[in-house]
């Protein structure tokens, strides 16, 4: 069984925004229960002792935590960690905060800013009026203190904002921001309640692939800065090896429950008390309870009817079990992006050509 590598640690369920798609359902009402800074520091240090590589601090909005400055101090004690990532909406990052983040530990702090579009129209639709302008001010404040290369942007792919990806990449490139990562919206938390927040369509994926093929500027920029499932699936051709057991990327929520992964929050799989018990004990209990998950994940491709009938079945390995659980509440449901994968794989086969070295698509 693979040991946990990347721990996502929620330090508060409080947030200064109330995003329409928020899966942890964060907001101002959660602001009264931040995780004590000493608890968060202890968990991070113990995770490093267990051989963990990365701690991602999240929320809610971590910068609403009243003690975020002393809390970040744990990095000095957790020398074994390769990287610490602070997830933020950036709306609170004025020049003082930007400087404090730049000064705190140059070695391994990465700031991950959420930006759900290249314009107020798309971003504010999710995050509220004025959020885009304030996030951009935060990003510019970080760039002004030299944090551009140590910043990445997280974009949540949806139907209403997908078309802005090329503009977003161009905008970030102009600002000197290092990377764009994306995740497709998960129909969980507040996103599950909204009819308007929908996954991108197969046509939107195909249009992006066509742009990648035809627009050299976009392709160069993407290859340097981007990670989007549509293009990664298209380029890689085969990601069956990514079948996971959901235990390499555990998540501790603001109530102190450890889950095998942020997407797989089955109440039956959560281990309580991570805020009060040694992490080694909590992780050991988790690993015992989750020992069958990897095998379950592997079985998806042969047991899910849609997978058995799929000409591309061996390519995605049945997709992500955590996403299936988040979207449908069942680990043996097909992944919610199945139709998008099929569109990309079909496109990849059509475009497969010995003169196109970027594509190494195996016949499905």
Question: Read out DSSP for 58-93?
Answer: ESS-GGGSTTHHHHHTHHHH-TT-SEEEEEE--TT-
Please, which residue, 313 or 319, has the CB nearer to ligand SAM?
A: 319
Q: Which of 156, 230, 228 is nearest to 188 (CA)?
A: 156
Only segment of 84-92, 219-227, 239-247, 284-292 that touches ligand SAM (CB under 6 A):
84-92
CA atoms 300, 302, 306, 307: torsion sign: positive
Please, which residue, 189 or 364, has the CB nearer to ligand SAM?
A: 189
Q: How far apart are CA 212 and CA 221, in angstroms?
A: 10
By the rule CB under 6 A, 229 interacts with ligand SAM = no
Q: How far apart are CA 86 and CA 253, in angstroms?
A: 15
Only segment of 58-66, 145-153, 199-207, 317-325 that touches ligand SAM (CB under 6 A):
58-66
Binding residue for ligand SAM (CB under 6 A) from 185, 247, 282, 283? 185
By the rule CB under 6 A, 269 interacts with ligand SAM = no
Q: Which of 246, 249, 267, 248 is nearest to 257 (CA)?
A: 267
Nearest distance, CB of residue 326 and ligand SAM, angstroms = 8
Only segment of 41-49, 179-187, 224-232, 293-301 that touches ligand SAM (CB under 6 A):
179-187
| φ, ψ for residue 185, nearest 5 deg | -55, 140
- For ligand SAM (CB under 6 A), the number of binding residues is 20
Binding residue for ligand SAM (CB under 6 A) from 59, 313, 317, 322? 59
CA distances from 74 to 41, 44, 105, 279 (A): 5, 7, 10, 15
Please, which residue, 58 or 265, has the CB nearer to ligand SAM?
A: 58
By the rule CB under 6 A, 114 interacts with ligand SAM = yes
The H or E element containing residue 45 is helix 37-49
Only segment of 81-89, 94-102, 236-244, 329-337 that touches ligand SAM (CB under 6 A):
81-89
Nearest distance, CB of residue 359 and ligand SAM, angstroms = 28
CA distances from 343 to 205, 207, 306 (A): 8, 11, 15
Please, which residue, 71 or 154, has the CB nearer to ligand SAM?
A: 154
Length of the chain in residues, anyone? Answer: 364
Whether residue 24 contacts residue 253, with contact meaning beta carbons closer than 8 Å, is answered with: yes
By the rule CB under 6 A, 199 interacts with ligand SAM = no
Q: Which residues bind ligand SAM (CB under 6 A)?
A: 15, 21-24, 58-59, 61, 87-89, 114, 154, 156, 183, 185-186, 188-189, 191
């Amino acid at each position: 069984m693979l040991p946990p590598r990347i721990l996502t640690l929620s330090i508060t369920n409080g947030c200064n925004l109330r995003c329409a798609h928020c899966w942890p359902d964060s907001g101002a009402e959660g602001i009264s229960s931040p995780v004590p800074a000493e608890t968060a520091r202890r968990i991070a240090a113990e995770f490093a002792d267990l051989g963990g590589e990365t701690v991602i601090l999240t929320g809610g909005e971590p910068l609403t935590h009243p003690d975020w400055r002393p809390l970040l101090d744990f990095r000095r004690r957790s020398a074994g960690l390769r990287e610490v990532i602070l997830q933020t909406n950036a709306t609170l990052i004025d020049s003082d905060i930007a400087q404090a983040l730049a000064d705190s530990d140059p070695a391994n702090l990465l700031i991950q800013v959420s930006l759900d579009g290249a314009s107020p129209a798309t971003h504010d639709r999710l995050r509220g009026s004025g959020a885009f302008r304030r996030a951009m001010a935060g990003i510019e404040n970080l760039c002004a203190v030299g944090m551009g290369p140590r910043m990445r942007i997280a974009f949540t792919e949806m139907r209403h904002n997908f078309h802005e990806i090329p503009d977003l990449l161009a905008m970030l490139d102009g600002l000197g921001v290092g990377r764009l990562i994306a995740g497709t919206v998960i129909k969980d938390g507040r996103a599950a309640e909204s009819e308007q927040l929908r996954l991108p369509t197969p046509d939107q994926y195909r249009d992006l692939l066509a742009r990648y093929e035809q627009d050299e500027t976009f392709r160069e920029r993407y290859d340097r800065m981007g990670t989007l499932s549509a293009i990664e699936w298209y380029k890689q051709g085969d990601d069956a090896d990514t079948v996971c057991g959901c235990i390499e990327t555990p998540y501790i929520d603001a109530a102190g429950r450890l889950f095998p992964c942020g997407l797989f929050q089955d109440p039956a799989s959560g281990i309580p008390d991570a805020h009060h018990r040694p992490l080694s004990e909590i992780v050991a209990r988790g690993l015992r309870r989750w020992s069958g998950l990897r095998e379950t994940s592997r079985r998806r491709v042969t047991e899910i009817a849609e997978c058995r009938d799929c000409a591309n079945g061996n390519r995605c390995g049945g997709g992500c079990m955590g996403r299936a659980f988040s979207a449908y509440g069942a680990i043996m449901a097909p992944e919610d992006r199945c139709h998008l994968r099929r569109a990309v794989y079909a496109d990849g086969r059509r475009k497969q050509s010995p003169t196109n070295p970027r594509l190494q698509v195996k016949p499905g």
